[in-house]
């Protein structure tokens, strides 16, 4: 009885080259490919952290509202001084108006300007990219110049004179009323954000948001 020996064929051994060609790397585990970190684009503004931006925005809005409140108080005091014949009351209104218009408004105006500049330059809104931001900047500077060169001088003159002339008191009331209208207009600009982007803001830039302070998933400067 004869037995026919079967020929055994050895299983092919996969080489490292064939493994690479088939898309599998040799070894116990394949290591994922690592990609180098992309550096930030040149000229991109470093944004403030969201927590800091909200804090500065809250402080900016609070100070700006305080500025509006002071102007309202000054306007009411000026109208009282014009409408009464009580010399003591007139003198008191003049003293309070001088304190508010010289000592307090200067600090508030500078604080509003600096916090607004910080919000505009340290976020993607940009200082010169939106027409409403440029307009608010012009209004702020105009009010500061008017207060420094005109309003403060008139307030000192009124306080030193005791019983100011009717023309000077009326001039102060008109100036303060105009400043109040400008401040309310600047507040409206922050809410409605009209007129779109400037030529500088229309340049190609990374996608950014310059909208309200409250983003959809959860905040002018």
Q: For residue 15, what are the β-bridge partners?
A: none
**pLDDT confidence band for 2 (50 / 70 / 90):** very low
The kind and range of the H/E element at 184 are helix 166-192
Residue 147 belongs to domain spanning: 50-192
CA 219, CA 79: separation in Å to the nearest integer?
A: 37
User: Does 26 fall in a domain?
Assistant: no
User: Does 127 fall in a domain?
Assistant: yes
Question: What is the tens place of the pLDDT at every residue in 22-60?
Answer: 444 444 444 445 555 544 444 455 677 889 999 999 999
Is the CB of residue 131 less than 8 Å from the CB of residue 202?
no
User: Does 56 fall in a domain?
Assistant: yes
Q: Which of 39, 161, 19 is nearest to 98 (CA)?
A: 161
H helix runs in 22-165, sequence order: 50-83, 87-98, 105-121, 131-146, 152-161
Q: Give mean pLDDT, residues 133-148.
A: 94
pTM of the model: 0.69
Distances (CA, A) of 61 to 92, 117, 119: 30, 13, 11
User: Does 44 fall in a domain?
Assistant: no
Answer whether residue 161 shows pLDDT above 70.
Answer: yes
Q: What are phi and psi of 63, to 5 degrees?
A: -65, -40
Q: Give mean pLDDT, residues 77-83.
A: 92
Residue 54's contacts (CB-CB under 8 Å, 6 or more residues apart) are 213, 219
User: Does 59 fall in a domain?
Assistant: yes
Is the CB of residue 168 less than 8 Å from the CB of residue 111?
no
Q: Which of 104, 115, 110 is nearest to 61 (CA)?
A: 115
User: Does 145 fall in a domain?
Assistant: yes
Our count of domains for the chain comes to: 1
């Amino acid at each position: 009885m004869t037995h026919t020996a079967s020929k055994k064929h050895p299983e092919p051994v996969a080489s490292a080259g064939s493994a690479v060609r088939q898309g599998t790397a040799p070894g116990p585990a394949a290591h994922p490919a690592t990609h180098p970190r992309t550096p930030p684009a040149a000229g991109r503004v470093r944004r403030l952290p969201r927590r800091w931006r909200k804090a500065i925005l809250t402080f900016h809005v609070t100070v700006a509202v305080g500025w509006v409140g002071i102007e309202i108080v000054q306007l009411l005091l000026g109208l009282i001084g014009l409408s009464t014949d009580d010399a003591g009351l007139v003198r008191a209104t003049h003293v309070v108006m001088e304190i508010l218009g010289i000592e307090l408004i200067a600090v508030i105006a500078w604080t509003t300007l600096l916090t607004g500049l910080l919000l505009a330059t340290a976020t993607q809104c940009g200082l010169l990219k939106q027409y409403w931001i440029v307009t608010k900047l012009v209004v702020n500077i105009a009010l500061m110049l008017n207060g420094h060169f005109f309003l403060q001088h008139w307030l000192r003159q009124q306080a030193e004179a005791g019983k100011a002339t009717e023309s000077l008191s009326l001039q102060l009331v008109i100036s303060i009323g105009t400043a109040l209208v400008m401040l309310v207009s600047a507040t409206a600009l922050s809410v409605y954000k009209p007129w779109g982007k400037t030529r500088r803001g229309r340049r190609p830039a990374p996608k950014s948001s310059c909208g309200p302070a409250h983003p959809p998933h959860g905040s002018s400067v």
